[in-house]
A and B are shown apart, each in its own frame.
Chain A
Amino acid sequence: MSAALNETSADWEPLVVAFCCNWCSYAGGDLAGTSRMSYPANVKVIRVPCCGRMNPMFVLRAFQRGADGVLVAGCHPGDCHYSTGNYHGRRRLSAFKRLFEFAGFEPERFEVRWISSSEGDKFAEEMETMTAKIKALGPNRKMRDARWQSVTQSK
């Protein structure tokens, strides 16, 4: 977490929170690990049962508490463990992404990707791309909770 706080220093590193579906993307991350692929340590993975479980408040809260970018990863359409979770997720997250941009946040900060459990390489690649994009964009100051920094720094 400390990396994300040194926002003024030149060696600033972004914090990316990746919400991964338990059945596909989280397993994809596992595969990336067991296949010894490397991806940036900026990414912190949070496991969710399904991308249909994603509540937009999770995303906003992540931004409030230090995230510079949020990625939601789920099964490819048609492959959902619960049959239709990602179809619902696609509609909800599309509507939210557009609203998020409308409020004036950079579109790159919030992304949704489909990553299956056999796509360890895609997992690593997406994490790489996302981190690079956020690094170029700079720290998230718009949605950061003003009290968050001082609390963590004093610890």
Chain B
Amino acid sequence: MAERNTEQIEKIRDVVAQDLLSGRIDLLLGWEKGHYWWQSRPLFARSKKDLDKLVWDPFCAVNLSRYLPDELKIHSKVGVLVKGCDARAFNRLLQDHMVQRDRVVLYGLPCPGMLDYSRLAEEAGGNLVGLVEQNGRVILKTDSGEKEAERKDLLIEKCRDCLYPNPVVYDQMLFSPQGEKSAPERFKVVEELENLSAEERFAYWEKELSRCLRCYACRQACPYCSCRECFVEQENPRWQGRAYQTSENFMFHLVRAYHGAGRCIDCGECERACPVGIPLQELNRKLIKDINELYGDYEAGLDAELEPPLLTYRPDDPAAFSEK
């Protein structure tokens, strides 16, 4: 079992219980324990009793804002616990007019970064039964003893290069913010791939994408994939074929990534949700990097008032092709 951060959970519970009882919110989106101790799944709390299940631990990686558009169809006011990435996802949905600001109450949780079970298990060696956190270090408990490791080495992929651990939009901040972060290696893999030849890049992507099951978990987890009808399910024209072959894999993944051009908040939920471990984030980051290079720095989800770069233009824009 992960040691429960009882003090913090109590504080969250007190605040939201009050709002649930007073009718300020009808539903709270939070996290509860999943089947295994190292899984935290979304909690949909409608009463004070439901809040007993609430947790806030190093496994609360699921982006809760993604559930808002659906929940707002049946509830008039929804409260959400937001980490840094959930808050930027909320801005994304706000810009897409998928949520209304006055119907959502955001409780800000500064995020220390979430832990990756597969990395924990690998580090521990033996059968991992629990962990304790202490000052940036994690003590892993196995059947045969204890092992200590740096917390930053055990983060899930999406948290490693996170620039905004603190919520950028909230109604109430519950804890004191995390310190500033930098992510010097955010585009490292993209740059490495750019330096390869076209043939090598094609071989890389053909291999990675060949694992795709077309389960569309990446789309379901993604805050920018908010279309009511997705192109993969359109029947006429049927853009996305069902066949298992390279060209259909590229069709899906290039178009999925492209739909996030200038909109992707780089929360990494697609990659985390992928059951076969396709490095989807590198496609998204490639677009972020290019758009920053060509049309000026833009960080999606930071400010809902700023216009996304692909919805606007300047007459003297550069182009990626010859304009002679």
How many B residues face the partner with a CB closer than 8 A?
Answer: 48
A97 to B283, Cβ gap below 8 A? no
Q: Is the CB of A105 within 8 A of B202?
A: yes
* Residue from B200, B247, B320 within 8 A of A98 (CB atoms): B320
A142 to chain B, nearest CB (A): 6
Q: Does B205 contact A (CB under 8 A)?
A: yes
- Residues on A with C-beta less than 8 A from B201 are 102-104
B320–A147 touching, CB < 8 Å: no
**Does the CB pair A92–B254 fall under 8 Å?**
no
B290 interface neighbour in A95, A106, A112, Cβ under 8 Å: A95
In chain B between 249 and 286, which residues have their CB closer than 8 angstroms to a CB of chain A?
250-251, 253-255, 257-258, 261-262, 283, 286
Closest to A94 in B: B320
Evaluate contact between B241 and A91: CB separation under 8 angstroms: no
Residues of A within 8 A of B291 (CB): 95
Contact B258 A99 (CB under 8 A): yes
Stretch with Cβ within 8 A of B (4 or more), from A9-17, A21-29, A42-50, A56-64: A56-64
Main secondary structure of the interface of A (DSSP, over half): helix
Q: Which of B113-121, B164-172, B191-199 contacts A (4 or more CB under 8 A)?
A: B191-199
Q: Say yes or no: is B36 at the interface (Cβ < 8 Å to chain A).
A: no
* A56 and B321 contact, CB distance less than 8 A: no
User: For the complex, what is the distance from the CA of A106 to the CA of B198, rounded to whole Å?
Assistant: 6
Q: Which A residues touch B290, using CB under 8 A?
A: 94-95, 98-99
Which residues of chain B have C-beta atoms less than 8 A from A61's C-beta?
Answer: 239, 251
- A106 vs B322: C-alpha distance in the bound complex, in angstroms? 16
Q: Which of these, B203, B231, B283, contacts A99 with CB under 8 Å?
A: B283
A77 to B316, CA, bound (A): 9
Question: Which residues of chain A have C-beta atoms less than 8 A from B255's C-beta?
Answer: 56-57, 60
A39 at the interface (CB under 8 A from B): no
Q: Are B204 and A104 in contact (CB under 8 A)?
A: yes
Q: How distant is the Cα of A106 from the Cα of B261 in the complex, in angstroms? A: 21
A107 to B251, CA, bound (A): 17
Contact A91 B251 (CB under 8 A): no
Cβ-based interface call for B94 (8 A):
no
Task: Find chain B residues with CB under 8 A from A143 CB.
Answer: 246-247, 250
Closest to A109 in B: B198
A53 to B200, CA, bound (A): 32
**A41 in contact (CB, < 8 A):** no
Which B residues are in CB contact (< 8 Å) with A103? 201-202, 205, 250, 253-254, 283
**Sampled A-B contacts (7; CB under 8 Å):** A57-B251, A64-B251, A91-B295, A93-B320, A96-B258, A102-B286, A106-B198
Taking A114-B323, A145-B248, A146-B245 as given, write out 9 further A-B residue pairs in contact, using a Cβ cutoff of 8 Å, ordered by the A residue number: A57-B255, A60-B251, A94-B321, A98-B287, A103-B201, A103-B205, A104-B198, A143-B246, A146-B243
**Chain A residues engaging chain B, CB cutoff 8 angstroms:** 56-57, 60-61, 63-64, 77-78, 84, 87-88, 90-107, 111-114, 142-147
Q: Which 8 A-B pairs have the closest CB atoms?
A: A104-B202, A104-B201, A94-B320, A87-B313, A112-B321, A98-B290, A97-B320, A146-B245
